[in-house]
Amino acid sequence: MPSPTPPSASFDNASGTIRIAGSWTLAFVDGLARRPPKLPRAPESTRIDASELGALDTAGAMLLLQTLRGAGISGIDGAFDGLREADLKLLLLVLSRSEDTDEPSERFFSFRAMLERMGRATATFLGQGRELLSFVGLTMVNLAGLVTGRTKLRLTSTVHHMEETGLDAVPIVALLSFLVGAVIAFLGATVLRDFGASIFTVELVSYAFLREFGVLLTAIILAGRSGSAFTAQIGSMKSREELDAIAAIGLNPIELLVLPRLIALMIMLPLLTFISMIMGLVGGGVVSMSVLDISPSQFITRLNEMTEVRHFWVGMIKAPIFAFLIAIVGCLEGLKVEGSAESVGRRTTSAVVQAIFLVIVFDAIFAVFFMEVGL
């Protein structure tokens, strides 16, 4: 194949015709756009000599038509000499689609766009809060229905989710709690030893784990592990229209999908919290024994004497509430999935972020509350 010659267009004064030559293709469009061929204004009836025209594609056709329009020639039918029929068809097609009859859609930039985005974000945030509250209401009604017998408890499904969210999470919760317990004991050891008060490490670990860290750590792990799983499971069902099928068969998706997950998590999160507390104390105990020479029996006696059981209840009472938040957010985000697989991913991320956010906010509220009532 001979290498293509660059496109050109020129006005031939002698014969009064426009001559176009070379290949008008995408490869040469850059050059054409930078140095457009200059043509003098020509009368509408000027003939165009295309006998030396090489290859032509849609990009070239678009620029050729622009060039000719620049010279004042807008109608091309019958104006060409030596143009291949296929090229004429192409030119006519491009010409017929060049006229932009529709209004271009409006797009804003800069300050106005920023205001628009802020407005949207605010509206989305408020809408999210509203949706969450109404979903809480809906779930409560269905939960109450369990007592009145209007909704059924799906036992198999509930037990399945208890295994998935609870039993399967024991190793990771136990290991992480042990490590965090050990880290807190190390902190206590370094700071308290200087005051000769290293025995207080026991209280540090026990207060921290019983009141706060046990439940918080478990809730955060489950938000990432189970909350996201709820969203992904329900979301992918939604995107495959399985939820519509459930509704069309006359079943209640809340009863079928949400309640088993909610109940499972509300049972399992307190149990895991208990495991977390024990493992945190064990982690603290191991460090105390190895670094601070506090023997296990000394640790247990001190724990028994100095730490009241109310701290345990302060931590424990938060567990079902956190479980409720995580399950509700996870399921709601799953139900909000629409259409594509991309939406499932976005909702899953959103569920985890929202769940962790809510857990920490509620933990802070509880802390203030318990301080006020003197627990």
Partner 1 sequence: MSGVHDTHTERVIEVRGLRSSFGKQVVHDGLDLDVYRGEVLGVIGGSGAGKSVLLRTVIGLRDPQAGSVKIFGEDVHGAQSTQRQRFERRIGVLFQDGALFSSLTVLENVRVPLIEYYKLPESIVEELAMLKIRLAGLPTSAAHKYPSALSGGMRKRAGLARALALDPEILFLDEPTSGLDPSSAAAFDELIATLHASLGFTVFLVTHDLDSLYGICERVAVLSQGKVVIADTIERVENFDEPWIKGCFQGPRGRSAAVQAERVKHTAGAQSAGA
Among 87, 164, 255, 333, binds partner 1 (CB under 8 A): 87
Does position 42 interact with partner 1 (CB under 8 A)? The reply is no
Does position 372 interact with partner 1 (CB under 8 A)? The reply is no
Among 14, 86, 147, 249, binds partner 1 (CB under 8 A): 86
Name the minimum Å distance from CB 123 to partner 1: 19
Name the burial class of residue 109, with classes exposed (0-12), middle (13-18) and buried (19+) by CB atoms within 10 angstroms of its CB: exposed
CA distance 202 to 315: 17
Among 44, 77, 102, 372, binds partner 1 (CB under 8 A): 102
Name the minimum Å distance from CB 263 to partner 1: 35
- Tell me, what amino acid is at 339? G
3-class state of residue 183 by DSSP: helix
CA distance 216 to 326: 12
Give the Cα-Cα-Cα angle 164, 355, 232 (nearest 5 degrees): 50
Name the minimum Å distance from CB 148 to partner 1: 41
Name the minimum Å distance from CB 118 to partner 1: 21
Does position 113 interact with partner 1 (CB under 8 A)? The reply is no
Does position 56 interact with partner 1 (CB under 8 A)? The reply is yes
For the record, the structure tokens of 216 come out as 């918080």
Q: Which stretch binds partner 1 (CB under 8 A): 87-95, 146-154, 184-192, 217-225?
A: 87-95
Q: Which stretch binds partner 1 (CB under 8 A): 88-96, 183-191, 206-214, 350-358?
A: 88-96
Nearest alpha carbon to residue 211 among 304, 319, 305, 299? 319
For residues 316-355, which are near partner 1 according to CB under 8 A? 339-340, 342
- Tell me, what amino acid is at 73? I
Give the distance, in angstroms, between the CA of residue 319 and the centroid of all CA atoms in the same chain. 26
Does position 76 interact with partner 1 (CB under 8 A)? The reply is no
Name the burial class of residue 63, with classes exposed (0-12), middle (13-18) and buried (19+) by CB atoms within 10 angstroms of its CB: buried
Does position 107 interact with partner 1 (CB under 8 A)? The reply is yes
Does position 94 interact with partner 1 (CB under 8 A)? The reply is yes
Among 38, 41, 69, 89, binds partner 1 (CB under 8 A): 89
CB 26 within 8 A of CB 56: no
Among 21, 42, 79, 90, binds partner 1 (CB under 8 A): 90
> Burial letters for 306-333: b for 16+ Cβ neighbours within 10 Å, e otherwise?
ebeeebbebbbebbebbbbbbbbbbbbb
Does position 25 interact with partner 1 (CB under 8 A)? The reply is yes
Does position 100 interact with partner 1 (CB under 8 A)? The reply is yes
CA dihedral 280, 283, 288, 289 (to 10 degrees): 140
- Measured over the CA atoms of residue 264, residue 267, residue 270 and residue 271, the dihedral's sign is negative
**For partner 1, the closer CB: 89 or 130:** 89
Name the minimum Å distance from CB 233 to partner 1: 22
Does position 116 interact with partner 1 (CB under 8 A)? The reply is no
Does position 105 interact with partner 1 (CB under 8 A)? The reply is yes
Name the minimum Å distance from CB 41 to partner 1: 23
3-class state of residue 124 by DSSP: helix
Q: Binding residues for partner 1, per CB under 8 A?
A: 25-27, 29-30, 33-34, 55-59, 62-63, 84-87, 89-90, 92-94, 97-98, 100-105, 107, 339-340, 342
